[in-house]
A and B are shown apart, each in its own frame.
Chain A
Amino acid sequence: MQAEAKNPKATRDKTEPKLNPDNKDFKLQAKNVDVFYGDFQAIDNISLDVVDNSITAFIGPSGCGKSTFLRLFNRMNDYIDGFRMNGEILLNKKNIYDESIKVEELRKKVGMVFQKPNPFPKSIFDNVAYGLRIQGIKDKDFIEERVIKSLKNATLYSEVKDDLNKQALSLSGGQQQRLCIARALAVKPSVILMDEPTSALDPISTAKIEELIHELKKKYTIVIVTHNMQQAGRISDNTAFLYMGRLIEYGDTQKIFTNPEKDRTQNYITGRFG
């Protein structure tokens, strides 16, 4: 691992962080991104590359912009009044904010799991099948196979296989969240975004989901926002520390947590603020 430059301006340069020098292609990249809501600047010149098939965590105090930044990757900020951005977000080298990009197609490649589990008020089966059906897929066997597979990948199948027609809302919180993960998996995205996925859950469900996320990274690129530093330390490979809309430090998780470059990172990690 090459040493990071001690230059405080390093994170503002265009050079990619040297995390994985052999892998030149990153699926997901941000280049000099600013985000504004009206006159308020929420993100200030952030560039980073997300390593494929890894778990990248965004951490930082409340209001530092980590959720906003996460939502750039599937353009969920588009719905907020006054949203503007500069810079580029690249998925497979293509800027997703380009006019030619269809947002609906993007979201099939970049899935999202939300903080509070939000299954649809439908059956378990219909929840997972939703993403397929809106694409116009009608083949019943195909859908059924995909639903079962996704539920298995989300480690939920064994708990619900007796009645897939049961109402999703009758499941427990932890099960609902795994259902939401299965729902996202069903359309076979390459990236999964998770916005504080366990903050509304009990410790046991949280542990189950952390284990699940760890399994998932084999096939998917995962970006997770969390305010729980222990969680970031437990499951992520790389961590980005955001503060007041800026990227303060980004690198190997173990290094960030044991030997960070920046004082501010150090202060946040040790709980001096945030």
Chain B
Amino acid sequence: MSNNRSSRYKDKIFQGMGITATFSCILILAIFLGFIIYQGIERLSWDFMVSLPSRFADQSGIYTAWIGTLWVLVLTTVISFPIGVGAGIYLEEYGKKNKLSTFLEINIANLAGVPSIIYGLLGLEVFVRLAKMGNSILAGSLTLSLLILPIIIVSTREALRAVPKTIKDASFAMGASKWQTIWKQVLPASFGGILTGVILAISRAVGETAPLIVVGALAYVPFAPTGPFDEFTVLPIQIFNWVSRPQHEFVINAAAAIIVLLSITFVMNGIAVYLRNRWQKKVSW
């Protein structure tokens, strides 16, 4: 009897712990976000968005930073989207169950776990130095593309896998070739899932700081880049730079910039989640 009571007691306690843990996390997140908004919302203005950074906090703006982020976003997407999806298609549709494909899978799983700063070191040696791209947007975008490639590959494979085999059978039975089947049936059917994966990956790239610092994105860039070979900075690095300054005004700037960065991040993730829900409804074979 007493065993029963103590068991039920433990049960209740744990349930309490679970609820507390879950809500604490959400509460902490709310506190963090609230603090940011409180600190930074007033600093947000059109002026802030179009001013160049300066030594004076109240004149500093994020213009060069978000232009740089935009450049990096577009370039990284252009590079990583076709390569990542292409690799995913190859592994899922053309791969045979042999040692090579297992090795490729293990390798991709490994790459996904490599710290992002190591990718920065790779980019520094290969793109900045060996390929002589310098501390350019191109070098940074290539580095980030390598970083997010495993993410895109894995999510592409999942989306492709969800297409039922019967659709492929029907297409083959009609005399379509492998690529025709992929291009006309498999890709259109899995496109929602693929797009979701790519948006999430790009959103991750937008928030990355360390690899770009190593590749030489500068902390103080008083001009907006005009081409892929220009030097640049991005929002996260600008934030990092301001946070590292002792003056309180720069902290306010950092908070305002964080609001901008978080807005971009949340919007992208929101779009991805929306797409995923719509796509999953469609895939009700």
Contacts and interface: CB of A to CB of B under 8 A. Distances in A.
A183 interface: yes
Secondary structure at chain B's binding surface: helix, strand, loop or mixed?
helix
A131 B285 CA distance: 22
A45 to B, nearest CB: 26
Contacts of A105: 175
Contact of A104 (B177, B184, B189): B177
Given A121-B189, A130-B184, A134-B184, A114 B175 contact: no
Interface in B110-143: none
B166 A107 contact: no
A108 interface: yes
Interface in B168-185: 169-177, 180, 184-185
Interface string B265-285: 000000000000000001001
Contact of B170 (A106, A108, A118, A187): A118
Contacts of A116: 166
Contacts, number: 61
Contact of A107 (B97, B175, B188): B175
B116 to A, nearest CB: 38
A191 B164 CA distance: 26
Contacts of A40: none
Given A121-B189, A134-B180, A114 B167 contact: no
29 contacts: A76-B169, A79-B172, A104-B176, A104-B177, A107-B173, A107-B175, A108-B175, A114-B170, A114-B173, A116-B166, A118-B164, A118-B166, A118-B170, A119-B170, A120-B171, A121-B282, A130-B176, A130-B184, A131-B174, A134-B175, A134-B177, A134-B180, A134-B184, A135-B175, A180-B170, A183-B170, A183-B174, A187-B174, A187-B175
Interface of A: 74, 76, 79, 81, 103-108, 111-112, 114, 116, 118-121, 130-131, 134-135, 169, 180, 183-184, 187
List of 5 A-B pairs having minimum Cβ-Cβ separation, nearest first: A107-B175, A112-B173, A118-B166, A118-B170, A104-B175
